[in-house]
Amino acid sequence: MVDITHKVTTLREATAEAIVKTSGQATIDAIQNNEVPKGNVFEMAKAAGLLGVKKTPDLLPDCHPLPIEYTGIDYEINGLEIIISMTVKTIYKTGVEVEAMHGASVVALTMYDMLKPIDKNVEIGTIRLKSKKGGKSSYKIRSEGLIADVIVCSDTISNGKGEDRAGEAIMEKLKALGVKSQKSIIPDEAEEITKKLESTSANLVIFTGGTGVGPRDVTPQTLEPLLDIKLKGVEEQMRSYGQNRMPYAMFSRSIAGIKDGKLILALPGSTKGAAESMDAIFPHVLHAFKVIEGKRHD
């Protein structure tokens, strides 16, 4: 089963469609007049479809069990065809398109089973995904033209007594997003941090290190007075995401803000903390550049 622990939770929605084809108007009339011997076709099929959605991970081994927040089933009669529309919603880390398609197929199969005694030529037609939203495809973030400065704040690494891994992890994730980056290493000194921020030409500046509560952790208090705008929601997202994975994340003082049209971030200095902070807010945080330009959120 695919690892989805790094994903963020969002509202996911999918709509699937299935078509049941009858062979005559008499079958349609029997359905509409509730004269099918096996019972009310629409109600029985709906109940089966609800169970089908819930049982999807029990039958398809690669599907993650997830909380189903909403399931809606609609029918449309078009000539001799019954068009089934199945909509499923969840607030989770992965989508529900398979659940919607499985539910629609179970509705169609239930109809087939109920109608075959009165219509020997009934058949199931197309089963397809009509739409989905809430995943990466719903939030298309452009990274063209972005250049990032990754600045590692560490006395140990700047003195050559340690190896940088957090900065490399950040650059690797930026590369996957198509963002060009460069890295520098400085000691945990407020003067050095200020100098780097004021001299950079990059539009995305990511500091890593110095966000804890140690005596040499000065990155947040150095950066905060220099910011034009603080992005408190971004900071909350990093801490919330981290806290769900590591209880010590509550000690992080990660920073996010805007200065002179540049997006400024300060992430933990641990490799895992930096990587998880990146997973928590990227690529969605890059939407800030669109807003800076005065464009709408949608």
Question: Any idea what the Cα angle at residue 64 is, between residues 62 and 68, rounded to 5°?
Answer: 140
Task: Check the CA dihedral 185-189-193-195 and report its sign.
Answer: negative
C-alpha closest to that of 106 among 76, 129, 87, 84: 84
Task: Check the CA dihedral 21-24-25-28 and report its sign.
Answer: negative
Cα distance between residue 147 and residue 125, in whole Å: 50
Cα distance between residue 255 and residue 224, in whole Å: 8
**Which one of the listed residues 58, 113, 149, 279 is annotated catalytic?**
113
Is 149 one of the catalytic residues?
Answer: no
C-alpha closest to that of 60 among 2, 111, 109: 2
C-alpha closest to that of 140 among 290, 279, 293: 290
Please give the span between the terminal C-alpha atoms of the chain, in angstroms, as a whole number.
Answer: 34
CB atoms within 10 A of CB 75: 16
Cα distance between residue 204 and residue 285, in whole Å: 11
Cα distance between residue 65 and residue 55, in whole Å: 9
- With tokens 């939203």, the residue in question is 133
The alpha carbon of 9 is separated from its chain's Cα centroid by a whole number of angstroms, namely 6
The alpha carbon of 136 is separated from its chain's Cα centroid by a whole number of angstroms, namely 6
C-alpha closest to that of 225 among 250, 201, 193: 193
Please list the active-site residues. 113
